[in-house]
Amino acid sequence: MCHIPVFCWITATVLEEVLKTREGGELPKTLTEMYTEFLVFQIDQTKEKYGQEKCIQYIESLAKLAFQQMEKGNLIFYGEDLKESGIDFRAASVYSGVFTEIFKKERGRKEKDKVFSFVHLSIQEFLAAVYVEISHINRNKNVMPLPRPSLQNMGLLLRKTSARKIHRIAIDKALQSANGHLDLFLRFLLGLSLQTNQDKLRDLLKKTDRRSQTNQETVNYIKMKISENLSPERSINLFHCLNELNDGSLVEEIQQYLRSGRLSTDELSPAQWSALGFILLSSEKDLDVFDLKKYFSSASEEALLRLIPVVKASNKVLLSGCNLSERSCEALSSVLSSQSSSLRDLDLSNNKLQDSGVELLSAGLRSQHCTLETLRSDLTEICSPLVSALKSNPSHLRHLDLRYNNLQDSGVKDLCGFLESPDCRLETLGSKKLVAQTYDGAAVMASALNGLQAKVKAIDPSAIDFMYIFYYLFRLSYCRLSEISCSPLVSALKSNPSHLRHLDLSYNNLQDSGVKDLCGFLESPDCRLETLRLSEISCSPLVSALKSNPSHLRYLDLSINSLQDSGVKDLCGFLESPDCRLETLRNTQDNNLFKLKILNHCSLSEISCASLALTLKSNPSHLRYLDLSYNNLQDSGVKDLCGFLESPGCRLETLRLSYCSLSEISCASLASALKSNPSHLRDLDLSYNNLQDSDLKDLCGFLESPDCRLERNHILYI
């Protein structure tokens, strides 16, 4: 309830009063205690101005109105409603003026148009509970009508009015409510049965009713109801009721399970399931990110269905690989459709939802109350229900992850219909294994991207096989693109070039003609590309394009290219340009997009090193990452490279030379170069060069140098 402004205001009012008037006084611990303190504050304020008798009369009349209209399901009251509760219609304005923080006039200048309400539903529910207590304690009268007749409650008709009878009637009625509209009222009613709360309301209650035995009987009755395998929502509320009655035995029982390690779904009784849900709902940390696997050694659909209230209250829910089916989809759809749901991020990946399950889930996504921003799910090519739902409610979803989905061209075509929607706010779209077997799949996606323009910050259209885009990042690696695909892609990029920052086309058979088309985009004066990854390309046309517009590119990845020495020579022409701002030549397996390898697996030899070193010496100040792994550089190549490392303008921070056929000679050259310019290098990788301990003698001397800046965790990989 801390998300409700009125409750926050009530809390602030109560705490200010308690701290100001009761030095060292105990603060309210339950919801009933908080609202009781608030009512006492209102009574004290009003007594000073209108006298105690008038004040109590006002409160009792408002409490009666609250109860009678709650029974009818009314939140707004008219003249006849007030008259039924003994409130003169003309005096109602006085009530709203006296208790401005409880009761208010809604609208209407003329008498007949006036409408009234309580400032919040929770205040109406609390006053309704107060009225039941006043009626029982002051008049020995039960105003609670019996729930639907049954053999179970027939005995209640024969019993005299008692707190136990009233409690049982209220519990049964709350459990029979389809929408839970009596849940909060029940909590207040049971909380008001405590002696401490009755003592605070002594101005309203003529006598107090000591009920320790009665309350224990109520606790036992609630526990019996919890064991009956109720819906998760009803069970959770009964735990709130136990909390109001200061009984935490079931909660302590499940906490012992939690302290012992992961739970087993087979071991928990219905009551323990409910206790777990109550504990999780009471934990702010667990409600930020709810990971089902965190609590169960084998997460299952049963666990999810029993903890649906936790899902509803959580911001991010991780359900990947939890053996979910369409039953779960139906429950999750209900959560997404709920106006009170906090769910913003939902991971359903690695579950066999089937098309029928996705269709059920789509009903929730279609709801106007759905505010989901991130969705990860498994689909097949029949994804039209999901797309239809997204198109009908497109404005909230920001991140859609469909990795490892067999969408194929037909699925991608449906997806593009959503991407082209003018209301689409998608920023990240990720997918893998979107197998497109025709050119049409790529063409449709290119068209959608062209229409999206600046709206999509990150998209992984994957009309084909493995595509990513993270914030102005366009990743089409492993997409089975050919030179044919390049033409429409380049056309789309040229029509809206200024937003794209990162382009990954590696592991595609673009061939020279495809790269030539791409160069048309790179040469555009509006091109702002900062990261480019290509493989299996020829360097000449690429270098020519980069030289004509070199100032924006920061990261160039040409891994797994058979550039050979001639290709590197062409590349050096770009690196020598005074406008070249390249910082990275590298590609790692981690998720850091700004640590990319550049020239590994490029069939380079020692000849390439000579050209590369000479070029880098002429323009050394920008390069920070250099990866030449998996190239047969040999000792002579490394010796040439050391000429660049010794340069006073060298700012290199990471150097990777794994699988480069190095020996002791290379280590000596590197040690000498690093000693002459040691202050910048942080990460040195010489792994898989078959170096022996004796080969590293010179390098170890450098490591002991006080000028060595190599970080302890990134010193040397052998």
Q: What pLDDT, on the 0 to 100 scale, is given for residue 572? A: 73
For 598, counting Cβ atoms within 10 Å of its Cβ (0-12 exposed, 13-18 middle, 19+ buried), the class is buried
| Residue 647 pLDDT greater than 70, yes or no | yes
Domain count, the chain: 3
- Does one domain contain both 516 and 570? no
| Whether residue 187 is found in the same domain as residue 43 | yes
pLDDT of 421 over the 60 cut: yes
At 7-24, the pLDDT tens digits run 888 899 888 888 888 776
Residue 439 has pLDDT above 70, yes or no: no
Q: Specify the CATH number for the domain of residue 520.
A: 3.80.10.10
Report whether pLDDT(660) > 60: yes
pLDDT higher than 50, residue 554: yes
Question: For residue 128, is pLDDT > 80?
Answer: yes
Does 271 reside within a domain? no
| CA–CA gap between residue 293 and residue 303 (Å, rounded) | 10
Lowest-pLDDT range, 11-15, 151-155, 185-189, 268-272? 151-155
Does position 497 have pLDDT exceeding 70, yes or no? no
**Are 567 and 521 found together in one domain?**
no
Compute the distance between CA of residue 652 and CA of residue 137 in angstroms, rounded to an integer: 82
Return the SS3 of 360.
Answer: helix
Joined tokens for residue 534: 């290509």
Predicted confidence at residue 334, as pLDDT, reads: 93
Look at residue 495 and tell me if it is in a domain. Answer: yes
- Residue 69: the pLDDT is 93
Q: What is the mean pLDDT of residues 108-115?
A: 66
One domain, residues 567 and 464: no
Q: What is the pLDDT of residue 129?
A: 97
Helix ranges (H only) for 261-340 are 270-281, 284-288, 301-306, 308-313, 326-337
Alpha-carbon distance of 267 to 249, in angstroms, equals: 18
Name the domain boundary from 529, 555, 581: 529
Structure tokens at 532: 């480019």
Q: Residue 639 pLDDT > 70, yes or no?
A: yes
pLDDT of residue 517: 73
Per-residue model confidence (pLDDT) at position 594: 31
Q: How confident is the model at residue 192 (pLDDT cuts 50, 70, 90)?
A: very high
Mean pLDDT of 519-525: 76
Find residue 442's DSSP bridge partners: none
Give a yes or no: residue 59 inside a domain: yes
pLDDT reading at 532 higher than 50:
yes
pLDDT band at residue 246 using 50, 70 and 90 as cut-offs:
very high
Q: Examine the domain organization and report whether 428 and 548 are in the same domain.
A: no
**Helices of type H across 112-153:** 121-139
- Asked if residue 479 and residue 426 are part of one domain, the reply reads yes
519 plus 589 within the same structural domain: no
In angstroms and rounded to an integer, the radius of gyration of the C-alpha atoms of the chain is 35
- The answer to whether position 283 is within a domain reads no
- Tell me if 57 is assigned to some domain: yes
Decide if pLDDT at 359 tops 50: yes
If asked whether residues 383 and 522 sit together in one domain, one would say yes
Q: Tell me if residue 2 falls in helix, strand or coil.
A: coil
More confident residue, 570 or 633: 633
Query: Minimum mean pLDDT among 37-41, 181-185, 650-654: which range?
Result: 650-654
Residues of the chain with pLDDT > 70, as a percent, come to 69
Q: Tell me which of 529, 560, 588 is where a domain ends.
A: 529
Measure the CA–CA gap between 220 and 198, rounded to whole angstroms: 22
| End-of-domain residue from the set 193, 220, 244 | 244
pTM: 0.58
Q: What is the pLDDT of residue 714?
A: 44
Mean pLDDT along residues 231-245:
90
Confidence of residue 219 (pLDDT cuts 50, 70, 90): very high
Report, as an integer, the average pLDDT of 141-156. Answer: 67
The most confident of the ranges 237-241, 287-291, 469-473, 688-692 is: 237-241
For 556, the domain range is: 542-718
Same domain, 546 and 520: no
Q: How confident is the model at residue 126 (pLDDT cuts 50, 70, 90)?
A: very high
- Whether residues 498 and 562 share a domain: the answer is no
Q: Find the mean pLDDT for residues 175-194.
A: 93
Q: Helix crossing, 163-176 with 183-191: angle to 10°?
A: 160
pLDDT > 60? residue 383: yes
Examine residue 557 and state whether it is found in any structural domain, yes or no.
yes
**Within-domain flag for 152:** yes
As a whole number, mean pLDDT of residues 422-444 equals 51
Q: Is the pLDDT of residue 668 over 50?
A: yes
d(CA 346, CA 337): 14
User: Which SS3 state, helix, strand or coil, does residue 685 take?
Assistant: strand
DSSP-derived pairing of the beta strands 316-318 and 289-291:
parallel
Residues 439, 440, 446, CA angle at the centre, nearest 5°? 95
Give CA–CA dist 138/540, Å, rounded.
Answer: 96
Residue 490 CB contacts under 8 Å (≥ 6 apart), including other chains: 517, 518, 520, 521
pLDDT of residue 502: 62
Q: What is the pLDDT of residues 37-89, one digit of tens each?
A: 999 988 888 887 778 888 888 889 899 999 999 999 899 988 888 888 888 76
Confidence (pLDDT) at 66: 94
- Average pLDDT over the chain reads 76
